[in-house]
Amino acid sequence: FEAMVHGLRQDANRAEVEPWIEKVFTPLIEEGCLVVAQKLPGKPQRIDLPSSSQVQTTYYEDDDGYIIIDDSSDDETEIIEVSRAASRTDEAEVATMLDRETPSPSPQSAIQKLYNYKATVLDIQPGLIGVNVPKLGEHEYFKVDLAKCAEAVERYKYNAQMNQLDIEWKASWGEDQEDDDEIQMDGFMSSIVVGSKTRVWVSYRDKKLDRTANTTLVHPWDRRLVVAAEQFSYVLGFPRIGPKREIKFAVESYWANKSSAEDLQKVAAEIRKQSWTNVKSKGVDYVPRQVTRSCAQFSLYDHVLDHSAAFNVIPSRYQNLGLSALDVYFAMGRGRQADGVDVPASEMKKWFDSNYHFVVPEFSGATDFKLVYNKALNEYKEAKAAGINTRPVVLGPVSFLVLGKPSRSAQAGFQPISLLPKLIPLYEQLLKELKDAGADWVQVDEPILVLDKAAELGPEFTQAYTKLAAVAPKILLTTYFGRLESNVDFVAKLPVAGLHIDLDREPGQLESVANAIKDTNIVLSLGLVSGRNIWKNDFQRSIDLGRKAIDILGEDRVIVATSSSLLHTPVTLASETKLTEEQKDWFSFALEKASEVATIAAVLSGSQDAEVAKALEANIQSIKKRRDFEKNSDDTVRKRVAAITPDDLNRKSPFPARAAAQKALGLPKFPTTTIGSFPQTKEIRSARLKLGKKELTQDEYDEFIKKEIQEVVKFQEDVGLDLLVHGEPERNDMVQYFGELLNGFVFTQHGWVQSYGSRYVRPPIVVSDVSRSAPMTVKWSAYAQSITKQPMKGMLTGPVTILNWSFPRIDVSREIQSKQLALALRDEVIDLEAADIKAIQVDEPAIREGLPLRRKDWDAYLTWAVDSFRLATAGVQDKTQTHSHFCYSDFNDIFPSIQRLDADVISIEASKSDMKLLAAFQEFGYKNYIGPGVYDIHSPRVPGEQEIKDRIKDIAADALSTAQQ
């Protein structure tokens, strides 16, 4: 609203005023603050005065203040409204501002002085604003909705657009000054009424004295708007699933041929707009002058897959199939087996140390890069058309190549990074198109900068960004999940406008990074609000880090942001109705984190806004209450962890002796088994839902589960599997199920997070010490064993995986939490053995993903992670066979730790990784049993019998080759 008052000046250049109409005034109308009214039969009341060298004014007084009307020789009607308090109290300041002469005591005189310098040019009548701007029509009137204004004024009056639009005005210093003694006006004067309250601020620049002076009326903190440099708060990314999992249902409906591509894209567009709007609204609620920007990043499946499709990085097996571009995209992600097309899915890997999976790009020397479509541009334009200014996001060229792999057709020794010179021109095209469309910033993610391998890629980064910076919008080079370390040395020399670092996970890097870029023009984006956990931000801690950055770099070079994309958090806490008020006060989901970013930015700007102060105080109290709760530890659990000894980690005998004892299982050579869970059918989900609604009794539900287990066991017997499982029909999720039966966890109703594609999970939240009150799986495993003569395998999720796939506590180390889980699982393993379960699988698919990103940190993590597994499994007799399962992981670099797990059997994914995981087992001479997975259960595609045979032959040939060596 302040911006509107400034912009609609009749004495300003029309070409300079026009942008204000589009960017400021129109949104106020759209938000209902100004409602178009019927044109009045006449114009506002005029007082026609004869033209003279002496400016004449007439004023009258009413309840709201003084209204001054003047009709000067240039036939302009000019009216200014100033509160009584302002006009009386600040006369001396007004006089100093204008001509350094104390005006006469009367309010009329003070206002006369202000008016002489053309403070504003609005026609005002009670409840109406008249705008004399050609684009809007001669004296068109708008009703003022004060209730709407009260909400909107805080969002708009200090919008950074006021700093972006460089409108300059000049005015004479005073009649007693020389003609060339001028001041340049940065806005000069504005007045806004909210209810009966008028706020006024004044700013001017004395060019001759080369100094900036500010006079503030009513609100002393308003001056920061004018003198401080532009400063933003950012959200690096947002969940793309929709608050009610709309994208999951829309995508799966399309896959099932129940809806069209157009239907799918319509839902996607709705969710994008909703996300952008929500982030924008959260960002400006408490922020007087920062602008929280949402990012323009969305995906129907995976953002890395989006890049592959956009740059034509499409393996030959997906080409020339007669499929639409959308179906090729989905075929790469999940495979396809329909309409005569039969192709497997591409390989997936974990996104750094998160539980998110990305589709691995495949490159070769023959890769034909093309910018098939500019996704970032399309979404930027889409948001802009909706009135939302977003910051486009793209995966950087170096990370894109390094995260990929050589295709099967690539020559030996081929490295994808060698394609950088071919790829850069396509990025130049993409970024130039964004700049031409009006994007002022672009977020370019280069997460590999937090890896050791990036140290060797300084020349590649320099080559790429020297060219890209020349054509792109301002580049915010973005890192997350780790620390830059020595990589900052070459990063600080890159021609980028901004650098983002993760201070949630690596706060210790702030000082070194800030000092490294101190003598550059690079702006530093501070990742203060976690994009990986759901705990409420400790504002004081974040503010202290922000102030440290400002002390080094200055206020104009600091941005407040989330640590990473909020992709890894649920959408909003507002949907949760079953958490207690105490529990809800602990947490912050994606939308709430956007508000946190905005509030921290406001505090760092020195805002004295009452709502900001209220939010800060509420946060202090919330953090204190949580800390008080955390003091209530379970002494029994803590003492048990402290009492762990080395002997607790060791099986009773080495593997050869155990293998001999396990022959009693009666398994043949090359025994077959499944990983554990069978499909969760509609009938199973329906029964579980009815149990929750008390439409089924517990006994009725148990009978249903028994029938499901009977069917699964019979099926396995019929097809000839050797080591059976009970199918887990009673489980909702491999982590959530255990969390619900353990002490120390809480659960959400709608806290969904994307794992891959349309696979979403609701991670449990560890809130206190973990323990087991009663057996969790024994009942159903024992029942399954009772109905078959073949050995039954008990199924558990390992301690490291439960921890990594939950939202862990941040007040207790991950090591302590993992060992608490291991002790609970140890009790379960021993109880399963006592129930005559002769094989027990403790899955640890997340042990590799939890590996720290820097090699120097590996040993400490691997020590407690492996110890946790051993603690959970070492309590059984030699005759009991322990299994574990891993998937989508590279083991070569940590294989000694895999060996130290000492599981009797390790099952691994070998269906999509070109058997390369097996190479590690061969290279390191693994002696225990291994179970290569030959059937990809993450894809709906059913492999043919011959395909399975070929994989088994390849495995056998590799094994024979190793044995001969």
357 classed as catalytic: no
Dist. CA 146–CA 148, nearest whole Å: 5
Nearest to 84 by CA among 100, 67, 96: 67
Dist. CA 530–CA 588, nearest whole Å: 10
Q: Is 406 in a helix, a strand, or coil?
A: strand
Dist. CA 787–CA 802, nearest whole Å: 30
Distance of CA 210 to CAs 171, 213, 554, 846, Å? 16, 10, 21, 61
Nearest to 376 by CA among 398, 395, 396, 392: 392
Phi, psi of 362 (to 5 degrees): -120, 130
β partners of residue 560:
233, 526
Q: Which two tokens stand for residue 58?
A: 């007439």
Order of strands, sheet of 558-562, starting from the edge strand that comes earlier in the sequence? 291-293, 232-234, 558-562, 523-529, 498-502, 474-478, 441-445, 391-395, 295-296
β partners of residue 859:
none
Helix (H) or strand (E) holding 617: helix 610-630
- Residue pair 597/234 in contact by the 8 Å Cβ criterion: yes
Vertex 139 angle, CA 136 and 143, to 5°: 85
Q: Which two tokens stand for residue 500?
A: 């983002």
Nearest to 7 by CA among 133, 91, 98, 113: 133
Q: Which two tokens stand for residue 220?
A: 């002393």
Dist. CA 417–CA 414, nearest whole Å: 9
Catalytic residue among 357, 883, 885, 938: 938
- Residue pair 598/292 in contact by the 8 Å Cβ criterion: yes
Position of tokens 């939302």? Answer: 388
Question: How many Cβ atoms are within 10 Å of 424's Cβ, its own excluded?
Answer: 19
Q: Which residues 6+ apart lie within 8 Å of 500 measured at CB? A: 234, 236, 443, 476, 477, 478, 479, 480, 524, 525, 527, 559, 561
- In order, the DSSP letters of 421-473 are HHHHHHHHHHHHHHHHTT--EEEEE-GGGGSGGGGGGHHHHHHHHHHHHTTSS
Dist. CA 300–CA 241, nearest whole Å: 9
At position 793, the amino acid (one-letter code) is K
Position of tokens 């974040």? Answer: 542
Q: Where are the alpha helices (DSSP H) in 776-836?
A: 778-786, 799-804, 814-834
Nearest to 239 by CA among 614, 534, 620: 534
β partners of residue 125:
128
Nearest to 519 by CA among 550, 498, 493, 483: 493
Dist. CA 283–CA 231, nearest whole Å: 13
- Residue pair 922/962 in contact by the 8 Å Cβ criterion: yes
Q: Which two tokens stand for residue 690?
A: 């009815």
Vertex 59 angle, CA 55 and 62, to 5°: 160
At position 558, the amino acid (one-letter code) is V
Length of the chain: 965
DSSP state of 357: E
Torsion sign across C-alpha atoms 344, 350, 356, 360 = negative
Distance of CA 551 to CAs 157, 546, 744, 790, 907, Å? 27, 9, 41, 70, 53
> Which residues have a catalytic role annotated?
938
